[in-house]
Amino acid sequence: MGEMKERMRKDLELRSYSPRTIECYLRHAERFASYHGRSPNVLGEAELIAYLDHRVQEEKAGPSALNQSVAALKFLYTHTLGRPEEIIRLPWAKTPRPLPVILSGSEVARLLQSVQSLVPRMVLMTAYGAGLRIREACALETGDIDSRRMLIHVRDGKQRRDRYVMLPRRLLACLREYWKVVRPPGRWLFPGEGRDGHLSSRTAQRAVKQAAADAGITKRVTPHVLRHSFATHLHESGSDIRTIQVLLGHGSIRTTQRYVKVSKAHVARSESPLDLLGTEDGERLG
C-alpha cells in the first residue's frame, strides 16, 4: 500500500487509536489490497464484499476476526480514502455472547497457590484482587500503588482511559513481601525479559494455564477468567452494578450486566412462580 499505508497510520494516530489497534487495522488493510493485487484506491464495494466472503468461505474467519476486517476497512474508506459510500452496506458479523467462565473463591485460591514463579503469581493476584485486564496488571508501575489512599492507578486502559481501582489490604501486604524479595530495579512493578521491560501477557497466560492444570481445575482458565470472577464475586458480595462498571472500566453498563447473569446469589434471590401457586402471594398471578 506504500504511501496510503502511511496516510492511514497517521489518520489512526491523530484519532488516538492504540498502537495495537493501529497495527491490527494496517494489517487487515494490507491483506485486503494483497488479495485483489490492486490499490484500495481503485477498489469499491464489490471488491470489499468479495474479500469478506473470501475471509469467511476460504479462511474460515470467525465473527470476531471478520469484524476486525470490517472495522479496518470501514476506517480506511471513511477517513483515509474519503469514500464512506463504499462501506455503507458492509455487514457486521453477529458474535456469540456465551456466559463467561467463573471460578469459585476456593478455585481462585487454589489457582494462585499453584503458580510456581513469584512475579507471575503476584501479577495474577493483582489481576483478581483489583479486577484488572492482564495487560493492565503487567504494565503497572511502582508509583501506581497508592498505599495511603488504598488505590491502584491504572494507566492507559482500554480505549486509553485511566482509572482508579481499590487496593485490597491482603494484596498490599503481599506486594510488600514481594518487594523485599524482588526489588524491581526500574519503573515496572512486575519486571520481565521482553522488549517492553515488564512481564508479558503471554508469560502470565502460560503461568495461569499451568497453574490450573496443577490445581486440578478442569474449567478453561485464562487470565481474563480472573477478571470475570472478580466482577461476579463482587456482585455476589453486594456491590451494585454501577460500582462494578467503574472498577472494570467498562464504557457501557450493558457489558457489566453480563455478570448479573452468572451471579448465583442474584439467581437464587429470584422466586419461581411455581413456589407461589396456591399461596396468598400467588393470587397476584391471577
- The answer to whether 163 and 157 have CB atoms below 8 angstroms apart is yes
What is the longest distance spanned by two Cα atoms in the chain?
A: 76
Active site residue 83: no
**What cell does 209 get?**
494455564
The residue annotated as part of the active site, out of 5, 83, 135, 224, is 224
Active site residue 158: yes
The residue annotated as part of the active site, out of 227, 228, 233, 235, is 227
The residue annotated as part of the active site, out of 133, 228, 233, 235, is 133
The residue annotated as part of the active site, out of 36, 135, 158, 266, is 158
Alpha helices in the chain (DSSP H): 3-14, 19-36, 45-57, 63-75, 105-113, 118-130, 134-138, 169-182, 201-214, 223-236, 241-248, 253-256, 258-261, 264-269
Active site residue 250: yes
DSSP 270: S
Apex 73 CA angle, 53 and 46, nearest 5: 45
What distance in Å separates the CA atoms of residue 258 and residue 262, rounded to the nearest whole number? Answer: 7
The residue annotated as part of the active site, out of 17, 25, 178, 259, is 259
Tally of residues, the chain: 286
Collapse the DSSP code of 198 into the 3-class scheme (helix H, G, I; strand E, B; otherwise coil) and give the result: strand
Residue position matching grid coordinates 497510520: 9
The residue annotated as part of the active site, out of 83, 155, 250, 266, is 250
Collapse the DSSP code of 141 into the 3-class scheme (helix H, G, I; strand E, B; otherwise coil) and give the result: strand
Active site residue 227: yes
DSSP 58: T
Q: Among all residues, which ones are annotated catalytic?
A: 133, 158, 224, 227, 250, 259
